[in-house]
Chain A
């Protein structure tokens, strides 16, 4: 089976940098995705890492280390609108997405 762990809550101030970690245990690992979900909204796709290293998309970056079964989402120049829940999700050999429990990010002024 699959299991993912990520912190339940993170707080940071506007303009800062925050890192949301995700560790996983899975069979048939293909890659790690990240999704953002605002309260009352639908999850939206942020990034995908299939290979080790850092992928950058604007203020957001995602990192993967397959040997450590570990990844993180890095958010820079935090804005109030970044307050949301962030989910890591493992892609497995069965073409399935298994989601972590989510990290609630609160950005304070």
Chain B
């Protein structure tokens, strides 16, 4: 069974640009979560999608947005990039909403560097 995949592995952008990060969940998982992990720190929750709908978002500005496609893959968009957006962005998937959501499977992450 294939795990959660993310692309690209690394992304380098300049301040003010936009970044698009992609995630494909494990087959059969409908919930997709996005987290930001700054170097050496914990995971900060960004967004949660299930069945194509945004279910919750963390304490991040509106320039962080995303969507989930009919095949349950997801995209995270970060507009007007700032230097402090440099971090590892992790995508995770779990079974559908309300079912073992505490057991999330993470992808390898996208390392975003803003210069």
Contact = CB atoms under 8 A, between A and B. Distances in A.
Interface residues of A, number: 21
A91 B35 CA distance: 15
Nearest to B101: A95
A95 B98 contact: yes
B108 A97 contact: no
A98 interface: yes
Interface string A17-60: 00000000000001101000000011111001000000000000
Given A31-B102, A94-B56, A99-B43, A42 B48 contact: no
A100 interface: yes
B103 interface: yes
B45 interface: yes
A87 interface: yes
Interface secondary structure of B, over-half rule: loop
B103 A33 contact: yes
A101 B41 contact: yes
Nearest to A90: B102
Interface in B72-101: 90, 92, 97-98, 101
Contact of A33 (B42, B102, B105): B102
Interface residues of B, number: 24
B106 A42 contact: yes
A96 B108 contact: no
Contact of B106 (A30, A33, A43, A101): A43
A42 B107 contact: yes
A102 interface: yes
Given A33-B102, A97-B102, A42 B45 contact: no
Contact of B42 (A44, A95, A100): A100
